[in-house]
Amino acid sequence: MNPANYLILAALLFTIGAVGVLLRRNAIVVFMCVELMLNAANLTLVTFSRINGTLDGQIMAFFVMVVAAAEVVIGLAIILTIFRTRRSASVDDVNLLKY
Amino acid sequence: MSATASAIAAPQVLAQGAQGTIDVPAIQYSALSPILIVFGVALAGVLVDAFAPARARRGIQPLLAAAGFVAAFVAVVLLHARRQVLAAGALAIDGPALFLEGAILLFALLAVLLVAERRLDSSGGAIVASAAITPGSPGATAQRSSAAVQTEAYPLMAFSVAGMLLFVSSNTLLIMFVALEILSLPLYLLAGLARRRRLLSQEAAMKYFLLGAFSSAFFIYGLAFIYGYAGSVSLGRIADAAGTVGANDTYLYLGVALLGIGLFFKVGAAPFHSWTPDVYQGSPTPITAFMAAGTKVAAFGALLRLFYVAFGGLRWDWRPIVWIIAILTMVVGAVLALTQRDIKRMLAYSAIAHAGFLLTGLAAANSDGLSGSLFYLVAYGFTTIATFALVTLVRTADGEASDLSQWQGLGRRSPLLAGIFAFLLLALAGIPLTSGFTGKFAVFEAAIAGDATPLVVVALVTSAIAAFFYVRVIVLMFFQEPGADGPIIVTRPTLTYAAVGIGAVVTLLLGVAPQPLLDLAGTAATSGFVR
């Protein structure tokens, strides 16, 4: 199977993630969309690893996973504190800072 | 770092089969010492926070962090002549990297002074007593005046500084990405630790986090495309691959654009600037000072390295884009700052405008542009830390005097403080005899030499617009009567005074006698980036 198809799939996933970040209102869902973008990048890395015939891309995918895990820890902590204060995780409700 | 090395060694291991040996590259730990010291201090800070009693922590943590930053700075000074690539090409220790590492450590030291300040009001400084207590709950009013403090702020700052040091000396995109996260993740948390106005602070943390994670996703996707194009993420190998005529130029250009988005977000360039005012306003002011100086230096260091080393051969392709972004950033920063009523928000838009001025140095794409940018970053960092430090001193009954109207008549109440603030604002505006003028002169001169004259014209016009809102604050302070709820000046905040004093003196010195630092920046820039 042509590996380029995986690149197209990854581009689709990345676009879905990016559009999701911009359109969805729940902070958790926004954050999941960011994770989708990171995983699209992972798929791209692994595909290029296959196309280039080097293993670097696969190892970089592990780095991205670790970083994504660290990001989850920080991100959920922040979203949770906001939720406990406001009883809502909607990004539309955090609107004190503007203009 | 050793993991990256194994990434390079991995195919050999597979070829060798069952032997299972990995070639461990020789790492010169001495050249890494600044980064290792700061990481060590951060880890020690975590241990102190876990085991020391709360009272002792409040004294130990700032001393530990400050001692670590001083030691790391000494290490940078001792390394000043080193030019080499380390850890199987993962890190580069060269002129620009060492220059910026030194700058970041000095800024971190000043920021520690501000965070450690505990005499601002009856409470214990700018950092929250316990971040886990929900605002509005019964414990929340008690914690406002509690002497307790979330001392995790110091190890978090040390981790962030370590990430910044790694960021400016990273020689592969992968290390750059990891360093970007190490510097950003602690900052997301620090943004949410303000003692007063908890809701604003939490909101700033959330916005910073979501937008920061969004932009780092762009960065890693760009990294993937560059890997696909060049078969490597080492900056030198990318430059070699970009110099040849390849079949997959689409990957290259996509990669450059996506990496650019990630980094332009970090420096706060328009149209990726929208987080800056919110985060600067909501964060605890000492952290804002740290972020404004440290992150800007680190992000510009990485941006310059990426575009000069890896994409230097593509200069004619990226320069027009950098032009557009620089112009947009300067105009957005200067014009929107005019409309602000909040002092921190106004300074945030001023930071955006300064990012635009710095981008003219990048657009120059020559050695003078590099040395000018290095000088500008140091000059701007000291001025901006002193400015935010002064903002913490002018207070009302419920915290900092954030609204500009509360600054009215400060010159009558405290001529010295108002005088220093006026001087710092003039430095931000770029008036002669201040470091701001010398910095702007250096980058604009380089930009003209690099055929970017139209950019300099725009920069001068926006500087004039920017001067208006700086002068407006000065007029407000000196030529208007103080209001009934006018500012209260804090008595004897020694550490903050020290930070303001150092920042103001450096701003003056770099305006009056800039030559030594210009020479240093010139030496760092002419020896260039190693790859």
- Does residue B11 lie in a domain region? no
CB-based contact, A96 to chain B, within 8 Å: yes
- Rounded to two decimals, what is the model's pTM? 0.92
B80 to A62, B73, B528: CA distances (angstroms): 35, 11, 13
Q: Using one digit for the tens of pLDDT, what is the confidence trace for B298-332?
A: 999 999 999 998 888 888 888 899 999 999 999 99
For the beta carbon of residue B494, count every other beta carbon within 10 angstroms. 10
CA distance B296 to B353: 12
Write down the residue that tokens 């920021």 correspond to: B111
Computed from CA positions of residues B52, B136, B193, B424, in that sequence, does the dihedral angle turn out positive or negative?
A: negative
- Does residue B62 lie in a domain region? yes
How far is B162 from chain A, CA to nearest CA, in Å?
16
- From the list A30, A34, A84, the residue facing B134 with the nearest CB is A84
Q: What is the pLDDT of residue B296?
A: 93
How far is A64 from chain B, CA to nearest CA, in Å?
8
Identify the segments of chain B with pLDDT beneath 70: 1-20, 121-124, 245-247, 485-486, 489-491
- From the list A7, A45, A71, the residue facing B227 with the nearest CB is A45
CA distance B377 to B394: 26
- Does residue B299 lie in a domain region? yes
Q: What is the pLDDT of residue B13?
A: 43
Total count of domains within chain B:
1
Q: What is the pLDDT of residue B6?
A: 42
Q: What is the pLDDT of residue B131?
A: 80
- From the list A51, A82, A98, the residue facing B228 with the nearest CB is A51
In the three-class reduction of DSSP (H, G, I as helix; E, B as strand; rest coil), residue B273 is classed as: coil
- Which of B 317-346 lie inside 8 A of A, CB atoms? 339
- A16: which chain B residues are within 8 Å (Cβ-Cβ)? none
For chain B, how many residues are written?
A: 531
With CA atoms as reference, the chain B residue closest to A4 would be B228
- Does residue B515 lie in a domain region? yes
Domain residues for the domain of B283 are: 26-527
Q: Say whether A38 and B220 touch across the interface (CB within 8 A).
A: yes
- B339: which chain A residues are within 8 Å (Cβ-Cβ)? 99
- Does residue B150 lie in a domain region? yes
Write down the residue that tokens 């003196």 correspond to: B505
- B11: which chain A residues are within 8 Å (Cβ-Cβ)? 54-55
Computed from CA positions of residues A40, A41, A47, A50, in that sequence, does the dihedral angle turn out positive or negative?
A: negative
Q: Using one digit for the tens of pLDDT, what is the confidence trace for B157-175?
A: 999 999 999 999 999 999 9
The residue ranking higher by pLDDT, B199 or A98, is B199
* Contact (Cβ atoms closer than 8 angstroms) between residue B170 and residue B90: yes
Instruction: Name A60's Cβ contacts closer than 8 Å, sequence gap at least 6.
Output: A45, B7, B174, B223, B227, B233
- Which of A 29-88 lie inside 8 A of B, CB atoms? 30-31, 34, 37-38, 40-41, 44-45, 47-49, 51-52, 54-57, 59-60, 63-64, 67, 70-71, 74-75, 77-79, 81-82, 84-85
Q: Say whether B227 and A60 touch across the interface (CB within 8 A).
A: yes
Q: What is the pLDDT of residue B12?
A: 43
Strand partners, B396: B399
Q: What is the pLDDT of residue B16?
A: 45
ipTM: 0.96
- A18: which chain B residues are within 8 Å (Cβ-Cβ)? 214, 217
